[in-house]
Amino acid sequence: MEKCFGIINHREVESNFGSLCRNRPVYMLPYGGRYRVVDIILSNMVANNIRNVALFTGEKIRSTMDHISDGSPWGLNSRFNGLTLFPPIKQHSSIERLGDIANLYSSIDYFKSLKEQIAFLCQGNVMFMADMKPAYDHFIETDTDIMYFYVRKHDQIGEFINTDKLHLDEEGNLTDIGLNLGMDVDFNMSTNAVLIKKDVLIDIINDAVETGDSQSLKAAIIKNKDKYKVKGYEIEDNVKIINDIQSYYKANMELLEKEKFDKTFNSYGKVKTKTKDEPPTLYERDVQVKNSLIANGCEIRGDVENSIIFRGVVIEKGVVVRNSIIMQKSVVRKGSILVNTILDKYSSIGENVNLMGTRVNPYIVDKAGIIEGNQ
């Protein structure tokens, strides 16, 4: 896919995450003990030989700058290729109302300057690692203008309600994109990832700005579906869409299943991230640690089960942590019990505190939050 450049489009879903996204965009949410959501997206592009990537950051850019920097962990800091960050557009106040179309329109000169003629565009809240070459070859061979990637879902319990639903005709042509309301048990769930010819992308963006009738690229594509050759392409179902706290919690917890862990980290390419030098984790003698992912630099003196523990976490004696996500540099004091809980970075839980949520609604402690215990 050397002829492709990447676009990571920011999707405004932060309001669904409460305090977890108060100071960070959704693509910067911690994931899997030592990663961020964006690490998976960038690593997938690099593994598919995409060397120019545009990331639309959203307004909460500080954590993005700190983590991504110049793109060097992914090899995206070369002299002629690399990672380019695009903050929200403000100078064209007349088109700000057009949503992501405004940001894309402001970057047209950048797109034109690239030698690559095809864009691989995905949303910042969608994660998957996959060999995209078969899809790319099909895109070229069939002379498709726009190719939407989807996974076939069998959903009897409504787990994927409110995700985008792709409607295709018998020949695989896109007829519409709707919202899954759970009416069909089997449906085509859109990954919101597309291959699109660069000249088609530019034409669609310009048309959307001139007519003013499309606030998103998705709406603009639907409007032009009869003008261009728009197809669907089914990929393997290892896609994670992070739309809210429940889907974020579930995406992390699924990594405790070896098969699902391997699909992300061992199936295609290496997932890269910003390196941080930490000592090995210290485990107190006789502690019980079961089915958990524990990063380096931790002190584990209590029991941990079915949980994900990030770098530098301290869990003192007598603590029980189950089905929880404990983020970087948090401390849980002795005698406390955490079940179905998410602790954001630098949290401090005092002695003999009991925090219990559910898998559907985990208990959340804010970044640098302090909960005093009973002495």
Residue 231, domain member (yes or no): yes
Give the containing element (helix H, strand E) for 54. strand 52-56
Residue 95, domain member (yes or no): yes
CB 328 within 8 A of CB 344: no
C-alpha–C-alpha distance, residues 293 and 289, integer Å: 10
C-alpha–C-alpha distance, residues 231 and 101, integer Å: 21
**255 and 301 share one domain:** no
Per-residue pLDDT tens over the stretch 206-217: 999 999 888 889
CB 89 within 8 A of CB 106: yes
Residue 151, domain member (yes or no): yes
Overall number of domains in the chain: 2
Is 0.75 topped by the overall pTM?
Answer: yes
Three-class secondary structure of residue 27 per DSSP: helix
Q: Which two tokens stand for residue 292?
A: 């958990």
Range of the domain at 294: 282-371
pLDDT reported for residue 158: 85
**31 and 77 share one domain:** yes
- pLDDT tier at 14, thresholds 50, 70, 90: confident
**149 and 261 share one domain:** yes
**89 and 208 share one domain:** yes
Residue 308 has φ and ψ, to the nearest 5°, of -120, 120
DSSP class per residue in 219-239: HHHHHTTTTS-EEEEE--S--
Q: CATH number of the domain that 38 lies in? A: 3.90.550.10
Residue 254, domain member (yes or no): yes
Residue 272, domain member (yes or no): no
pLDDT reported for residue 92: 52
Residue 275, domain member (yes or no): no
Residue 271, domain member (yes or no): no
**300 and 328 share one domain:** yes
